[in-house]
Protein backbone atom coordinates (compact mmCIF):
# COMPACT_ATOMS: atom_id res chain seq x y z
CA UNK A 1 0.00 0.00 0.00
CA UNK A 2 1.32 3.47 -0.91
CA UNK A 3 2.33 5.89 1.89
CA UNK A 4 -0.41 8.35 0.87
CA UNK A 5 -3.15 5.76 1.44
CA UNK A 6 -1.61 4.85 4.77
CA UNK A 7 -1.63 8.54 5.75
CA UNK A 8 -5.33 8.72 4.91
CA UNK A 9 -5.88 5.51 6.87
CA UNK A 10 -4.01 7.09 9.80
CA UNK A 11 -6.43 10.03 9.88
CA UNK A 12 -9.51 7.82 9.46
CA UNK A 13 -8.29 5.43 12.15
CA UNK A 14 -7.62 8.30 14.55
CA UNK A 15 -11.11 9.75 14.20
CA UNK A 16 -12.72 6.29 14.35
CA UNK A 17 -11.01 5.48 17.65
CA UNK A 18 -11.90 8.91 19.00
CA UNK A 19 -15.57 8.57 18.10
CA UNK A 20 -15.93 5.26 19.94
CA UNK A 21 -14.67 6.86 23.13
CA UNK A 22 -10.97 5.96 23.32
CA UNK A 23 -9.01 8.68 25.23
CA UNK A 24 -7.26 11.09 22.92
CA UNK A 25 -3.72 10.30 24.09
CA UNK A 26 -4.13 6.57 23.53
CA UNK A 27 -5.87 7.26 20.21
CA UNK A 28 -2.93 9.36 18.99
CA UNK A 29 -0.34 6.80 20.00
CA UNK A 30 -2.25 3.70 18.81
CA UNK A 31 -3.08 5.06 15.35
CA UNK A 32 0.47 6.42 14.95
CA UNK A 33 2.12 3.15 15.96
CA UNK A 34 -0.10 0.94 13.79
CA UNK A 35 0.07 2.91 10.56
CA UNK A 36 3.65 4.04 11.15
CA UNK A 37 4.76 0.44 11.53
CA UNK A 38 2.84 -0.55 8.40
CA UNK A 39 4.51 2.30 6.51
CA UNK A 40 8.16 2.06 7.47
CA UNK A 41 8.57 -0.79 9.95
CA UNK A 42 10.88 -0.81 12.94
CA UNK A 43 12.63 2.43 12.02
CA UNK A 44 9.73 4.28 13.67
CA UNK A 45 10.81 2.90 17.04
CA UNK A 46 14.40 3.94 16.39
CA UNK A 47 13.46 7.56 15.74
CA UNK A 48 10.79 7.98 18.40
CA UNK A 49 12.87 7.98 21.64
CA UNK A 50 15.08 10.86 20.52
CA UNK A 51 12.02 12.83 19.42
CA UNK A 52 10.19 12.33 22.71
CA UNK A 53 13.31 13.14 24.73
CA UNK A 54 13.73 16.36 22.76
CA UNK A 55 10.18 17.36 23.62
CA UNK A 56 10.05 16.48 27.32
CA UNK A 57 13.51 17.97 27.86
CA UNK A 58 12.22 21.37 26.75
CA UNK A 59 12.67 23.86 29.60
CA UNK A 60 9.48 25.78 28.78
CA UNK A 61 7.20 22.87 29.78
CA UNK A 62 7.97 23.60 33.43
CA UNK A 63 5.66 26.60 33.02
CA UNK A 64 2.62 24.34 32.63
CA UNK A 65 2.46 22.84 36.15
CA UNK A 66 3.51 26.17 37.67
CA UNK A 67 0.77 28.16 35.92
CA UNK A 68 -1.74 25.41 36.67
CA UNK A 69 -0.72 25.52 40.35
CA UNK A 70 -1.22 29.29 40.43
CA UNK A 71 -4.66 29.02 38.88
CA UNK A 72 -5.90 26.11 40.95
CA UNK A 73 -4.65 27.70 44.18
CA UNK A 74 -6.58 30.91 43.51
CA UNK A 75 -9.66 28.91 42.45
CA UNK A 76 -9.63 26.55 45.46
CA UNK A 77 -9.22 29.44 47.87
CA UNK A 78 -12.66 30.74 46.74
CA UNK A 79 -11.40 34.30 46.25
CA UNK A 80 -13.60 34.43 43.13
CA UNK A 81 -16.75 34.40 45.25
CA UNK A 82 -15.86 37.66 47.01
CA UNK A 83 -14.69 39.18 43.75
CA UNK A 84 -17.95 38.37 42.00
CA UNK A 85 -20.02 39.88 44.78
CA UNK A 86 -18.05 43.13 44.66
CA UNK A 87 -18.17 43.51 40.87
CA UNK A 88 -21.87 42.62 40.84
CA UNK A 89 -22.64 45.49 43.21
CA UNK A 90 -20.48 47.93 41.24
CA UNK A 91 -22.29 47.14 37.97
CA UNK A 92 -25.64 46.26 39.50
CA UNK A 93 -27.36 49.55 38.72
CA UNK A 94 -27.31 48.83 34.98
CA UNK A 95 -29.71 46.59 33.13
CA UNK A 96 -27.60 43.53 32.66
CA UNK A 97 -25.17 44.79 35.29
CA UNK A 98 -24.81 41.41 36.96
CA UNK A 99 -24.09 39.81 33.57
CA UNK A 100 -21.44 42.48 32.93
CA UNK A 101 -19.97 41.62 36.31
CA UNK A 102 -19.79 37.98 35.22
CA UNK A 103 -17.83 38.97 32.10
CA UNK A 104 -15.43 41.03 34.24
CA UNK A 105 -14.90 38.15 36.63
CA UNK A 106 -14.41 35.84 33.64
CA UNK A 107 -11.55 38.04 32.38
CA UNK A 108 -9.88 38.15 35.78
CA UNK A 109 -10.37 34.44 36.48
CA UNK A 110 -9.11 33.69 32.99
CA UNK A 111 -5.92 35.58 33.81
CA UNK A 112 -5.53 33.93 37.22
CA UNK A 113 -6.81 30.39 36.75
CA UNK A 114 -7.09 29.82 32.99
CA UNK A 115 -9.21 26.74 33.75
CA UNK A 116 -12.55 26.76 31.93
CA UNK A 117 -14.17 24.15 34.16
CA UNK A 118 -13.26 26.01 37.34
CA UNK A 119 -14.61 29.33 36.05
CA UNK A 120 -17.87 27.96 34.63
CA UNK A 121 -18.62 25.83 37.69
CA UNK A 122 -17.80 28.65 40.09
CA UNK A 123 -19.90 31.19 38.21
CA UNK A 124 -22.70 28.68 37.70
CA UNK A 125 -22.95 27.81 41.38
CA UNK A 126 -22.60 31.39 42.62
CA UNK A 127 -24.54 33.45 40.11
CA UNK A 128 -27.07 31.39 38.18
CA UNK A 129 -29.58 30.94 41.04
CA UNK A 130 -29.24 34.64 41.89
CA UNK A 131 -29.73 35.74 38.27
CA UNK A 132 -32.83 33.58 37.92
CA UNK A 133 -34.23 34.88 41.20
CA UNK A 134 -33.75 38.46 39.96
CA UNK A 135 -35.66 37.80 36.75
CA UNK A 136 -32.90 37.22 34.22
CA UNK A 137 -33.78 35.32 31.08
CA UNK A 138 -32.39 31.78 31.63
CA UNK A 139 -30.78 31.58 28.17
CA UNK A 140 -28.99 34.93 28.56
CA UNK A 141 -27.76 34.00 32.03
CA UNK A 142 -26.45 30.63 30.84
CA UNK A 143 -24.80 32.14 27.76
CA UNK A 144 -22.99 34.83 29.77
CA UNK A 145 -21.65 32.28 32.26
CA UNK A 146 -20.43 29.83 29.61
CA UNK A 147 -18.88 32.53 27.42
CA UNK A 148 -17.06 34.25 30.28
CA UNK A 149 -15.63 30.89 31.34
CA UNK A 150 -14.01 30.38 27.94
CA UNK A 151 -12.07 33.65 28.15
CA UNK A 152 -9.39 31.78 30.07
CA UNK A 153 -8.36 30.14 26.79
CA UNK A 154 -7.14 33.41 25.30
CA UNK A 155 -6.44 35.68 28.28
CA UNK A 156 -2.75 35.13 29.10
CA UNK A 157 -1.26 33.15 30.75
CA UNK A 158 -3.14 30.41 28.91
CA UNK A 159 -2.31 26.75 28.31
CA UNK A 160 -3.53 27.18 24.73
CA UNK A 161 -0.89 29.83 24.11
CA UNK A 162 1.86 27.78 25.75
CA UNK A 163 1.09 24.72 23.64
CA UNK A 164 0.69 26.75 20.44
CA UNK A 165 4.09 28.33 21.09
CA UNK A 166 5.62 24.86 20.85
CA UNK A 167 3.55 23.72 17.87
CA UNK A 168 4.25 26.90 15.90
CA UNK A 169 7.81 27.41 17.22
CA UNK A 170 7.07 30.86 18.63
CA UNK A 171 8.08 32.61 21.82
CA UNK A 172 5.62 32.23 24.69
CA UNK A 173 6.12 35.87 25.59
CA UNK A 174 5.29 36.93 22.04
CA UNK A 175 2.00 35.02 22.09
CA UNK A 176 1.13 36.36 25.55
CA UNK A 177 1.66 39.91 24.27
CA UNK A 178 -0.26 39.22 21.06
CA UNK A 179 -3.24 37.82 22.99
CA UNK A 180 -3.79 40.90 25.15
CA UNK A 181 -5.68 42.99 22.58
CA UNK A 182 -7.75 40.13 21.05
CA UNK A 183 -8.81 38.98 24.53
CA UNK A 184 -9.92 42.50 25.46
CA UNK A 185 -11.68 42.78 22.09
CA UNK A 186 -13.60 39.58 22.74
CA UNK A 187 -14.56 40.59 26.27
CA UNK A 188 -15.65 43.98 24.89
CA UNK A 189 -17.86 42.30 22.29
CA UNK A 190 -19.47 40.20 25.03
CA UNK A 191 -20.09 43.29 27.16
CA UNK A 192 -21.48 45.28 24.21
CA UNK A 193 -23.89 42.45 23.41
CA UNK A 194 -25.16 42.37 26.99
CA UNK A 195 -25.64 46.15 27.05
CA UNK A 196 -27.48 45.99 23.72
CA UNK A 197 -29.75 43.21 24.95
CA UNK A 198 -30.41 45.22 28.11
CA UNK A 199 -31.65 48.08 25.91
CA UNK A 200 -33.66 45.93 23.49
CA UNK A 201 -35.09 43.55 26.09
CA UNK A 202 -34.98 45.38 29.43
CA UNK A 203 -37.22 42.84 31.16
CA UNK A 204 -34.75 40.05 30.42
CA UNK A 205 -31.96 41.59 32.54
CA UNK A 206 -33.32 43.78 35.36
CA UNK A 207 -30.88 45.79 37.50
CA UNK A 208 -30.02 45.00 41.11
CA UNK A 209 -32.72 46.57 43.32
CA UNK A 210 -31.80 49.99 44.70
CA UNK A 211 -32.42 48.90 48.28
CA UNK A 212 -29.89 46.10 47.96
CA UNK A 213 -27.30 48.39 46.41
CA UNK A 214 -27.76 50.97 49.16
CA UNK A 215 -27.23 48.35 51.85
CA UNK A 216 -23.48 48.67 51.25
CA UNK A 217 -21.93 52.12 51.39
CA UNK A 218 -19.82 53.30 48.49
CA UNK A 219 -16.76 53.65 50.74
CA UNK A 220 -17.16 50.12 52.08
CA UNK A 221 -17.64 48.81 48.58
CA UNK A 222 -14.42 50.36 47.31
CA UNK A 223 -12.51 49.09 50.34
CA UNK A 224 -13.74 45.61 49.48
CA UNK A 225 -12.62 46.15 45.88
CA UNK A 226 -9.10 46.94 47.07
CA UNK A 227 -9.06 44.02 49.49
CA UNK A 228 -10.53 41.41 47.16
CA UNK A 229 -9.49 42.47 43.65
CA UNK A 230 -6.11 44.14 44.17
CA UNK A 231 -4.03 41.09 45.26
CA UNK A 232 -4.95 38.75 42.37
CA UNK A 233 -4.82 41.60 39.84
CA UNK A 234 -1.39 42.65 41.10
CA UNK A 235 -0.21 39.04 40.88
CA UNK A 236 -1.40 38.69 37.28
CA UNK A 237 0.11 42.02 36.25
CA UNK A 238 3.42 41.10 37.85
CA UNK A 239 3.56 37.71 36.10
CA UNK A 240 2.45 38.93 32.68
CA UNK A 241 4.38 42.18 32.95
CA UNK A 242 7.62 40.35 33.70
CA UNK A 243 7.13 38.06 30.67
CA UNK A 244 5.95 40.68 28.18
CA UNK A 245 8.50 43.21 29.41
CA UNK A 246 11.32 40.74 28.94
CA UNK A 247 12.32 40.78 32.62
CA UNK A 248 11.75 37.05 33.13
CA UNK A 249 11.28 33.98 30.98
CA UNK A 250 7.83 32.35 31.10
CA UNK A 251 9.05 29.51 33.32
CA UNK A 252 10.67 31.91 35.78
CA UNK A 253 7.57 34.12 35.84
CA UNK A 254 5.39 31.05 36.35
CA UNK A 255 7.43 30.05 39.40
CA UNK A 256 6.95 33.53 40.85
CA UNK A 257 3.23 33.29 40.04
CA UNK A 258 2.97 29.99 41.92
CA UNK A 259 4.75 31.48 44.92
CA UNK A 260 2.65 34.64 44.68
CA UNK A 261 -0.59 32.66 44.68
CA UNK A 262 0.49 31.02 47.92
CA UNK A 263 1.17 34.44 49.45
CA UNK A 264 -2.16 35.89 48.23
CA UNK A 265 -4.14 33.00 49.70
CA UNK A 266 -2.11 33.08 52.92
CA UNK A 267 -2.72 36.81 53.36
CA UNK A 268 -6.43 36.16 52.88
CA UNK A 269 -6.12 33.60 55.73
CA UNK A 270 -7.44 30.81 53.54
CA UNK A 271 -4.34 28.66 53.22
CA UNK A 272 -4.51 25.26 54.88
CA UNK A 273 -2.95 21.83 54.54
CA UNK A 274 -6.21 20.52 53.09
CA UNK A 275 -6.32 23.19 50.36
CA UNK A 276 -2.63 22.70 49.57
CA UNK A 277 -3.11 18.94 49.27
CA UNK A 278 -6.12 19.38 46.97
CA UNK A 279 -4.27 21.93 44.82
CA UNK A 280 -1.29 19.61 44.43
CA UNK A 281 -3.54 16.74 43.35
CA UNK A 282 -5.38 18.86 40.79
CA UNK A 283 -2.13 20.33 39.46
CA UNK A 284 -0.59 16.88 39.05
CA UNK A 285 -3.68 15.51 37.31
CA UNK A 286 -4.04 18.41 34.85
CA UNK A 287 -0.31 18.64 34.07
CA UNK A 288 -0.01 14.88 33.56
CA UNK A 289 -2.95 14.90 31.15
CA UNK A 290 -1.47 17.70 29.05
CA UNK A 291 2.04 16.23 28.92
CA UNK A 292 0.76 12.70 28.22
CA UNK A 293 -1.13 13.97 25.19
CA UNK A 294 1.94 15.95 24.15
CA UNK A 295 4.12 12.82 24.20
CA UNK A 296 1.52 10.67 22.41
CA UNK A 297 1.11 13.32 19.72
CA UNK A 298 4.77 12.85 18.77
CA UNK A 299 4.00 9.28 17.66
CA UNK A 300 1.16 10.52 15.48
CA UNK A 301 3.04 13.43 13.92
CA UNK A 302 6.15 11.32 13.24
CA UNK A 303 4.06 8.66 11.48
CA UNK A 304 2.06 11.22 9.51
CA UNK A 305 5.14 13.02 8.24
CA UNK A 306 6.90 9.75 7.42
CA UNK A 307 3.87 8.69 5.37
CA UNK A 308 4.08 11.93 3.33
CA UNK A 309 0.93 13.32 4.89
CA UNK A 310 2.19 16.88 4.49
CA UNK A 311 2.30 16.37 0.73
CA UNK A 312 -1.37 15.36 0.81
CA UNK A 313 -2.20 18.60 2.60
CA UNK A 314 -0.25 20.63 0.04
CA UNK A 315 -2.15 18.95 -2.80
CA UNK A 316 -5.43 19.69 -1.02
CA UNK A 317 -4.64 23.39 -0.71
CA UNK A 318 -3.66 23.61 -4.37
CA UNK A 319 -7.24 22.65 -5.23
CA UNK A 320 -8.66 25.59 -3.29
CA UNK A 321 -9.34 28.77 -5.28
CA UNK A 322 -8.66 32.21 -3.81
CA UNK A 323 -5.02 32.05 -2.77
CA UNK A 324 -3.62 32.13 0.74
CA UNK A 325 -6.61 33.95 2.24
CA UNK A 326 -8.86 31.11 1.12
CA UNK A 327 -6.40 28.68 2.69
CA UNK A 328 -6.60 30.54 6.01
CA UNK A 329 -10.39 30.55 6.00
CA UNK A 330 -10.40 26.87 5.11
CA UNK A 331 -8.31 26.21 8.23
CA UNK A 332 -10.62 28.42 10.31
CA UNK A 333 -13.69 26.55 9.01
CA UNK A 334 -12.05 23.19 9.69
CA UNK A 335 -11.12 24.14 13.28
CA UNK A 336 -14.63 25.50 13.88
CA UNK A 337 -16.29 22.31 12.61
CA UNK A 338 -13.89 20.09 14.55
CA UNK A 339 -14.79 22.10 17.64
CA UNK A 340 -18.26 20.52 17.58
CA UNK A 341 -16.71 17.11 18.21
CA UNK A 342 -13.17 17.51 19.59
CA UNK A 343 -11.43 19.36 22.41
CA UNK A 344 -9.01 22.21 21.78
CA UNK A 345 -5.93 20.17 22.67
CA UNK A 346 -6.86 17.49 20.13
CA UNK A 347 -7.45 20.11 17.43
CA UNK A 348 -4.17 21.84 18.30
CA UNK A 349 -2.04 18.76 17.88
CA UNK A 350 -3.88 17.29 14.89
CA UNK A 351 -5.25 20.03 12.64
CA UNK A 352 -2.81 22.88 13.24
CA UNK A 353 0.53 21.12 12.48
CA UNK A 354 -0.86 19.68 9.25
CA UNK A 355 -1.29 23.12 7.68
CA UNK A 356 1.63 25.08 9.12
CA UNK A 357 4.12 24.29 6.30
CA UNK A 358 1.69 25.79 3.77
CA UNK A 359 1.44 29.09 5.64
CA UNK A 360 5.17 29.18 6.41
CA UNK A 361 5.92 28.84 2.69
CA UNK A 362 3.51 31.73 1.97
CA UNK A 363 5.19 33.94 4.62
CA UNK A 364 2.00 34.32 6.66
CA UNK A 365 2.66 36.12 9.97
CA UNK A 366 2.67 33.22 12.46
CA UNK A 367 1.73 35.42 15.42
CA UNK A 368 -1.34 36.74 13.62
CA UNK A 369 -2.28 33.22 12.54
CA UNK A 370 -1.83 31.94 16.10
CA UNK A 371 -4.32 34.52 17.39
CA UNK A 372 -6.88 33.55 14.75
CA UNK A 373 -6.47 29.92 15.79
CA UNK A 374 -6.70 30.74 19.50
CA UNK A 375 -9.96 32.67 19.16
CA UNK A 376 -11.36 29.90 17.00
CA UNK A 377 -10.35 27.22 19.51
CA UNK A 378 -12.51 28.95 22.12
CA UNK A 379 -15.60 28.01 20.15
CA UNK A 380 -14.91 24.32 20.83
CA UNK A 381 -15.93 24.96 24.44
CA UNK A 382 -19.29 26.45 23.44
CA UNK A 383 -20.44 24.49 20.40
CA UNK A 384 -22.75 21.52 21.02
CA UNK A 385 -22.80 18.58 21.35
CA UNK A 386 -19.36 18.30 23.02
CA UNK A 387 -18.74 21.84 24.29
CA UNK A 388 -17.20 21.34 27.71
CA UNK A 389 -18.48 24.66 29.06
CA UNK A 390 -22.01 23.43 28.33
CA UNK A 391 -21.36 20.18 30.21
CA UNK A 392 -19.85 21.98 33.19
CA UNK A 393 -22.79 24.36 33.52
CA UNK A 394 -25.36 21.62 33.00
CA UNK A 395 -23.82 19.71 35.89
CA UNK A 396 -24.34 22.55 38.39
CA UNK A 397 -27.44 24.28 36.97
CA UNK A 398 -30.71 24.39 38.96
CA UNK A 399 -33.47 21.97 37.91
CA UNK A 400 -35.44 24.62 36.01
CA UNK A 401 -32.53 25.14 33.60
CA UNK A 402 -32.81 22.87 30.56
CA UNK A 403 -30.24 21.92 27.96
CA UNK A 404 -32.22 24.02 25.48
CA UNK A 405 -31.67 27.13 27.63
CA UNK A 406 -27.91 26.54 27.63
CA UNK A 407 -27.68 25.85 23.89
CA UNK A 408 -29.78 28.89 22.95
CA UNK A 409 -27.79 31.07 25.33
CA UNK A 410 -24.39 30.32 23.83
CA UNK A 411 -25.40 30.85 20.17
CA UNK A 412 -24.96 34.68 20.26
CA UNK A 413 -21.59 34.34 21.95
CA UNK A 414 -20.37 31.83 19.36
CA UNK A 415 -21.41 34.37 16.73
CA UNK A 416 -19.43 37.06 18.60
CA UNK A 417 -16.37 34.81 18.54
CA UNK A 418 -16.72 34.50 14.77
CA UNK A 419 -17.01 38.29 14.53
CA UNK A 420 -13.81 38.60 16.56
CA UNK A 421 -12.04 36.25 14.15
CA UNK A 422 -13.22 38.42 11.26
CA UNK A 423 -11.99 41.61 12.94
CA UNK A 424 -8.55 40.16 13.72
CA UNK A 425 -8.34 38.85 10.15
CA UNK A 426 -9.29 42.25 8.69
CA UNK A 427 -7.08 44.23 11.10
CA UNK A 428 -3.95 42.15 11.86
CA UNK A 429 -2.58 44.97 14.02
CA UNK A 430 -5.02 43.92 16.76
CA UNK A 431 -2.78 40.90 17.28
CA UNK A 432 0.60 42.19 16.12
CA UNK A 433 0.72 45.77 17.42
CA UNK A 434 1.70 45.05 21.03
CA UNK A 435 4.44 42.46 20.28
CA UNK A 436 5.99 44.81 17.70
CA UNK A 437 5.71 47.81 20.01
CA UNK A 438 7.60 46.15 22.84
CA UNK A 439 10.13 44.61 20.46
CA UNK A 440 9.23 40.92 20.55
> Domain-by-domain residue ranges, the chain?
59-437
Q: Tell me if 106 sits within 8 A of 127, measured CB to CB.
A: no
DSSP string spanning 156-192?
A: SS-HHHHHHHHHTT--HHHHHHHHHHHHHHHHHHHHH
Q: In this predicted model, what pLDDT tens digit does every residue of 305-364 receive, in sequence order?
A: 777 666 666 666 666 676 788 888 888 888 887 777 666 777 777 778 877 888 888 888
**What is the model's pLDDT at position 372?**
93
Tell how far CA 32 is from the center of its chain: 27
Model confidence at 368, in pLDDT bands (50, 70, 90)? very high
Mean pLDDT of the chain: 78
**What sign results for the dihedral spanned by CA atoms 189, 182, 233, 127?**
positive
Rounded Cα gap, residues 131 and 140, in angstroms = 10
Which of 78-92, 119-133, 263-277, 290-304 has the lowest average pLDDT?
78-92
* pLDDT reading at 425 higher than 80: yes
* pLDDT reading at 404 higher than 90: no
Amino acid sequence: MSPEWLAIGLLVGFFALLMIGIPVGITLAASGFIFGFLGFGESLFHLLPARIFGVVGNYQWLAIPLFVFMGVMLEKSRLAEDLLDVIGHLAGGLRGGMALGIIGVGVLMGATTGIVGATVITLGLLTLPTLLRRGYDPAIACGAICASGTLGQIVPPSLVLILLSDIMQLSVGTLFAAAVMPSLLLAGLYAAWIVLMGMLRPDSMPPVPLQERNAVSRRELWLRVLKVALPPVALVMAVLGSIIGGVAAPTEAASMGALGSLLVVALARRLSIGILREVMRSTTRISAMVLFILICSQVFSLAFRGLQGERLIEDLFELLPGGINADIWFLMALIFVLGFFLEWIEISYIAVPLFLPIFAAANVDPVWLAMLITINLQSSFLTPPFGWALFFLRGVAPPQITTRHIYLGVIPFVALQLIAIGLVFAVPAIATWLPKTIGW
